[in-house]
Chains A and B, each alone.
Chain A
Amino acid sequence: MTPGGDTGRPGQPEGGDRQPSAGTWADDAPRPFLDRTLSPPPGGSDRPPTDPGGVRPYLLTGGRTTIRPDVNVETIVSVTGKSPTRQLDEEHLRLLRLAGEPLAVAELSAHLGIPIGVAMILVGDLAEAGVVRLNDASGDGSGEPTQDAALLRKVVNGVLKLREAESL
């Protein structure tokens, strides 16, 4: 379900009626986005410093956009030490090197400077290749924390302790 009925959906351009401003890009080129490396647009400097050299995110994922259901932003990734069952790309290997210490997908994404969605897809590849283990970060892995009163109580107690330590 799309919340509010008017928000963006995956795979669909939002605000589809918006036109790129004329003159910023070679509008007559068949694939103007390929010009990016040749002639960066005037507005290009507002790109975040984390953008990996102008490579479009979908290139990093080989055009794939599907995220495995067991990969989420807070999923903990740790290496298994097994040899990969499939060929890994440079980006995969960079992720793998970082995951020597168990880290959440969001942390890997931030450290490598790749968009979170890309990190989620690449982590899924690594899991498929058997080189990483995915751990549900919701404590004991019992699923929806909003349904689990015992788990919720644990978190409340944890936060209360932090608060006590702070107010001393």
Chain B
Amino acid sequence: MKVVIAGGFGVGKTTLVASISDIPPLTTEGHMTTVAAGVDDRTAVQAKTSTTVAMDFGRARLDGDIILYLFGTPGQDRFGFMWDNLVKGALGAIVLVDTRRIDDCYPAVDFFEHRQVPFIVGVNQFEGQELPPLDDVRWALDLGPTTPIVVVDARSRLSALDALLTLLMHNMSQLEARLAEIAPPPVPTRSRLIGPAPGWDRSPTGL
């Protein structure tokens, strides 16, 4: 199980990872392009001149032997490749926003929308900062009406867990909507004769 925490530099991703994680966050170098480079001279020079992207990593053990992995990653365009790997099989993403630098999170919002990864927006409440109305943030980010947007204090474990729950619930409601689409309430006799609708075999209840 993994959750991606995205957002611009210095927005509090590491803090949020640390708040949920059982271990102190580890930092790993996420810059993949340097590996892909080196084929010709120009790319090699370029790899040298570009900055390294750090990725924060934490984990939390949940009941039932589930380990939740948390990946904090900056929303940089050049990080695109790693993002594909990151979101593969992810539960979803929390896009962390600093309302003073709201455009920092555009790439992340764009990416998750295009990839149809369930995500929520967490407005990080910095100390002594007055937040604009969340509707204004929603408008500025051009978020759809169904995407949750919450205020989060990244330093507080309780607040961080609440944001995580918001994401999971959002995920769940999206899944339920999809399941309802795949399998509309069965018309008893007819659907029995035809057999289960496509997708039913993947239902956890096995109906």
Contact = CB atoms under 8 A, between A and B. Distances in A.
Contacts of B158: 163, 166-167
A109 B107 contact: no
A73 B71 contact: yes
A124 interface: no
A22 to B, nearest CB: 11
Contacts of B2: 73-74, 137-138
Interface stretch (A30-38, A80-88, A90-98, A125-133): A30-38
B38 A56 contact: yes
Given A4-B111, A107-B26, A163-B165, A46 B36 contact: no
Interface in A42-100: 46-48, 50-51, 56-58, 61, 63, 65, 67, 72-74
B56 to A, nearest CB: 9
Interface in A107-141: 107, 109-111, 113-121, 136-139
Interface stretch (B40-48, B125-133, B146-154, B187-195): B40-48
Interface string A17-41: 0101100110000111100100001
Contacts of A146: 90-92, 118, 171, 174-175
Interface in B135-160: 157-158
Interface string A143-164: 1111111111111111111110
Interface of A: 1-4, 6-15, 18, 20-21, 24-25, 30-33, 36, 41, 46-48, 50-51, 56-58, 61, 63, 65, 67, 72-74, 104, 106-107, 109-111, 113-121, 136-139, 143-163, 166-167
